[in-house]
Structure formats: C-alpha cells, structure tokens
C-alpha cells in the first residue's frame, strides 16, 4: 500500500508538531512544506523547542529544503495556495496550518492547486460550507468532504467531555472557561491589538478573552445549540491548558456517578487516544506532551444539589491538538 502524500502549509507551532507526529507514521509521507520563512530558520525551530525540548532527529537545511534524518523535503514560499504545485507533487492531503485561510472557503484554493483533501487546523468561518469533524464525537459522520475543519484545540477538549455528559446524564445548559496558555495572538509586551486585553503583556498577566470553542461545539453536537457558551482566561504558561465545565444535567447525580462514567467511557474504542481520566493531583506541566484531547481530573469533580455538575479537563493545546490533526488524515483518505 502506497503512503499518503501530505503537504504542510504553515510551519508554526501546530505545523511543526504535526510534522513530528506524522513523521512517525508508517502510512504518511510528508513531501512538502510551504512557509514564508527561510529553511534554515525552520530547521532550527524544528530541532529546538522550548516546550518540548530537542527533537531527536538529525535536522539540517539547504536553501529551499529541510533534511530530516537524510530525508529531503522541499520548502516552498508561496503566499497564494492556488499556485502551489500540489498536482505536480500528487498531494493527497494538505494540512492547512497557517491560520489565515479560514474564511469563506479560502482553504479550497489548495484543491484548485491539485490537492485531493484539505484539513484546516482552525475553526472555519463564513460562507465556505466547510464542515467540522471532531475525533471521538462526529468523525463517523464524515461524508467524503474535500475540505474539513479540525476546529480548535479547546473545541477538541470540549467535544468528548460534553458528549459523554450528554449521553450519560443529559444537558439542560452549560458554561465553560478555558484556562489557556498564552499564544502568538497575544503581545509579549504591552502594545496595540484589536483585543485590548490581548494587547497586554502575555507573560505578566492573567488575560480574560473570548473563545469560539463553545459555539463550535454546538455545530458538532446539535443538541447543545443555544445551551452552551464560555470564555477564555489566558495565563503565563507556554503550553498546557485546563477547561472548567459547569453543566446543569437532566437528572440527579453524584460525584461517583460522574467519575465512573468518564472512567468507563475513556476505556471504550470511541474515545481511545482522545480522552483519558486520572485520579492523580496533577498540574499543567504534567500534561505537556500528552496526546489526548482531554485528560479528566477526577479529583476536581463537584456536584451541587444533584444536578449542577463541575468537571475539569486538562489538554496540551499544541501537542494534543496536533495529534488529532494528523489522525484526521486517515479519516479523509480511508
């Protein structure tokens, strides 16, 4: 069986993590990277990572190429996705990781360039008609879409948790807060930003801001439409985040029932690799490099008056998300 030929458009935090994960697959061949940064810089950033340490591969570069364990990978620098040589390179799947081509079906430009499938590493917006699929939630409904969205890291955490609560206990309404590590969409020092809170120094402040994750989940789990919302609190950690959920459930429950449900569901094939549960008193650094979308912290589960439920789930907002992104390659090519 021939390998799936993959190109990565955008070699930032998610693109590089996806590269490392996909490179370990026997079924995937990364045949091109497109990024406006020079190959020498990209090679250095691939090799040395503040969050994840030194990459255990031999990484070199030549002008226009990455060389990883002697495998030579062309590095392109094309701003317009429709002009990329995907037809010539027989690209099966593009991982669209720039964060730019998310509106009105812009990611479909990769199809015009000759790619068979595109997976967008962000929520999509506007009139493009691009469907969102979450592994463990609605991936079984994949309908041969040429372009799909893998939503956001937070949406991937929310989806399986909300689905398990809904299936086992029902949900009347819910709120969530993600306590989220800072990202490049914040300023290192105080400076102009369209979000005046994100304008402030990321490493020195707790920064309340918006998240579209709760709304994105309702597009996947239709039963939650109009019943689920939330916000984000950005904090001074480099990666590793925590979602705080509050559910008004459909019947009286206990802490023990809630935790039992998560333990049992985590062991089922549907959530294998997507959700796990722990009783250990962990902190954010403990889940850096964890590949799951949600790590349930069962010691933090609370129930008030039988039907008001709080659960908390950790997630590595980079590595966990990048694992789901790479796994979607199998979804769109099977």
- Answer yes or no: do 157 and 272 share one domain: yes
Number of domains in the chain: 2
What pLDDT is attached to residue 217? 95
Q: Are 54 and 47 in contact (CB under 8 A)?
A: yes
In this structure, the answer to whether residues 97 and 237 fall within a common structural domain is no
Among 97, 129, 161, the domain boundary falls at 129
Annotated binding site: 13-14, 35, 121, 152-154, 183, 211-212, 234, 317
Active site residue 153: yes
Residues of the chain where predicted confidence (pLDDT) is lower than 50: none
Residues of the domain holding 222: 153-317
- Judge if 251 and 198 occupy the same domain: yes
Asked if the structure places residue 175 within a domain, the reply is yes
Distances from the Cα of 160 to the Cα of 164, 196, 294, 332, angstroms: 6, 32, 8, 20
Whether residue 139 lies inside any domain: the answer is no
Binding-site residue positions for D-glyceraldehyde 3-phosphate: 152-154, 183, 211-212, 234
Identify whether 259 is part of a domain.
yes
Provide the CATH number for the domain around residue 89. Answer: 3.40.50.720
User: Which pLDDT score is estimated for 127?
Assistant: 74
> pTM here?
0.96
Same domain, 114 and 159: no
- Looking at the structure, do residues 60 and 190 belong to the same domain, yes or no? no
> What's the CATH number where 198 sits?
3.30.360.10
* Position 289 in a domain: yes
Residues across the chain:
334
Q: What pLDDT is attached to residue 203? A: 97
Same domain, 71 and 170: no
Q: Give the per-residue pLDDT at 129.
A: 86
Given 68, 153, 224, 249, the catalytic residue: 153
Q: Are residues 168 and 121 in the same domain?
A: no
**Are 165 and 45 in the same domain?**
no
Domain membership of residue 330 (yes or no) is: no
157 shares a domain with 123: no
Please choose, from the candidates 23, 105, 48, the residue with its C-alpha nearest in 3D space to the C-alpha of residue 33.
Answer: 23
Question: Which residues belong to the annotated binding site for NAD(+)?
Answer: 13-14, 35, 121, 317
């Amino acid at each position: 069986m021939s390998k799936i030929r993959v190109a990565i458009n955008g070699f930032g935090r998610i693109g590089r993590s996806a590269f490392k994960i996909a490179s370990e697959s026997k079924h995937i061949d990364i045949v091109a990277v497109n990024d406006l940064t020079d190959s020498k810089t990209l090679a250095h950033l691939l090799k040395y990572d503040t969050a994840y340490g030194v990459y255990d591969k031999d990484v070199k570069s030549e002008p226009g190429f990455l060389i990883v364990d002697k495998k030579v990978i062309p590095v392109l620098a094309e701003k317009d996705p429709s002009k990329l040589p995907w037809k010539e390179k027989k690209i099966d799947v593009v991982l669209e990781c720039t964060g730019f081509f998310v509106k009105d079906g812009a990611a479909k430009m990769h199809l015009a360039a000759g790619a068979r499938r595109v997976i967008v590493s962000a929520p999509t917006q506007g009139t493009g008609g691009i469907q969102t699929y979450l592994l463990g939630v609605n991936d079984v409904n994949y309908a041969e879409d040429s372009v799909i969205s893998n939503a956001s890291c937070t949406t991937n955490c929310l989806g399986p948790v909300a689905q398990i609560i809904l299936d086992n206990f029902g949900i009347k309404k819910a709120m969530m807060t993600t306590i989220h590590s800072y990202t490049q969409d914040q300023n290192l020092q105080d400076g102009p930003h369209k979000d005046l809170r994100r304008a402030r120094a990321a490493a020195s402040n707790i920064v309340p801001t918006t998240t579209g994750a709760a709304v994105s989940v309702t597009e996947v789990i239709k039963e939650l439409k109009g019943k689920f919302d939330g916000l984000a609190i950005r904090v001074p950690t480099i990666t590793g985040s925590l979602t705080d959920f509050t559910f008004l459930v459909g019947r009286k429950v206990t802490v023990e029932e809630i935790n039992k449900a998560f333990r049992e569901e985590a062991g089922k094939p549907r959530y294998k690799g997507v959700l796990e549960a722990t009783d250990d008193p962990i902190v954010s650094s403990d889940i850096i490099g964890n590949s799951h979308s949600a790590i349930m912290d069962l010691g933090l589960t609370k129930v008030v008056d039988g039907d008001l439920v709080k659960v908390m789930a950790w997630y590595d907002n980079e590595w966990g998300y990048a694992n789901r992104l790479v796994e979607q390659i199998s979804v769109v090519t099977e």
